[in-house]
Amino acid sequence: MHQTNHVAIALGSNLGDSCLILSQALLHLTQVYGMNIIARSHWHRTPAWGPPQPDFINGCAVLAMTHSPLDLLRILLATEQHFGRIRTGKWQPRTLDLDIIFYGHQIINTPELIIPHPEYHRRGFVLVPLAEIAPHWQDPRTGLSVATLAQRLDTSAIVKITHHGSSQATG
């Protein structure tokens, strides 16, 4: 019997019907790879970094699963490809971007994988939705909670997308 681990992932998209793609990606992870969704944030509209491009739709999910960290990475990369992701460089538009933020409370630092995600604590588009569903999750490197880290950033440009299609500022 494999041990069940809780993981936090970040999801993003700015090509195609992003809200639908993100929802379908989560469904894909449950149906194809047997993961269970413990919590899912609202989707949030976030201005893109880098060259001019459409805003991103971002969110986070906490999943329960038995896959190893490297298997999870492979699964997320395969899922990105399944939804049409083409890697053309940093800060480029994409149909789907999936990142492992936390894998339980483990610290992993290998050439293939770094967990916690090395940049998540600087990214409001990760911290705002993650704080919505896992505010007390502590970074195993710093001991700081997700909510504390989110409060340290200017998140005024991140807008929550409500279920009725309207938006409201979150920062």
Q: What is the full DSSP assignment across 9-58? A: EEEEE-SSSHHHHHHHHHHHHHHHH--EEEEEPPEEEEPPPSSS-PPEEE
Q: Which of 97, 122, 139, 152 is catalytic?
A: 97
Is 139 assigned a catalytic role? no
Cα 161 from Cα 169, distance rounded (Å): 9
Element (H, E) at 76: helix 69-82
Q: What integer pLDDT is reported at residue 167 of this predicted model?
A: 46
Q: What integer pLDDT is reported at residue 162 of this predicted model?
A: 76
Is 40 assigned a catalytic role? no
- Average pLDDT, 10 consecutive residues per value, the chain (171 residues): 89 95 97 97 92 92 97 96 79 88 97 95 96 97 97 94 55 48
Is 17 assigned a catalytic role? no
Q: What integer pLDDT is reported at residue 92 of this predicted model?
A: 75
Q: What integer pLDDT is reported at residue 163 of this predicted model?
A: 59
Task: Give Dmax (Cα) for the chain.
Answer: 48
User: What is the secondary structure of 119-142 as a DSSP string?
Assistant: TGGG-HHHHHHHHHH-TTPBPTTT
Q: Which of 94, 123, 139, 141 is catalytic?
A: 94
Q: What integer pLDDT is reported at residue 91 of this predicted model?
A: 66
Q: What integer pLDDT is reported at residue 49 of this predicted model?
A: 80
Q: Which of 40, 45, 99, 123 is catalytic?
A: 99
Q: Which of 45, 85, 123, 139 is catalytic?
A: 85
CATH top-level class of 5-169: alpha beta
Residue type, 20: L
Q: What integer pLDDT is reported at residue 1 of this predicted model?
A: 55
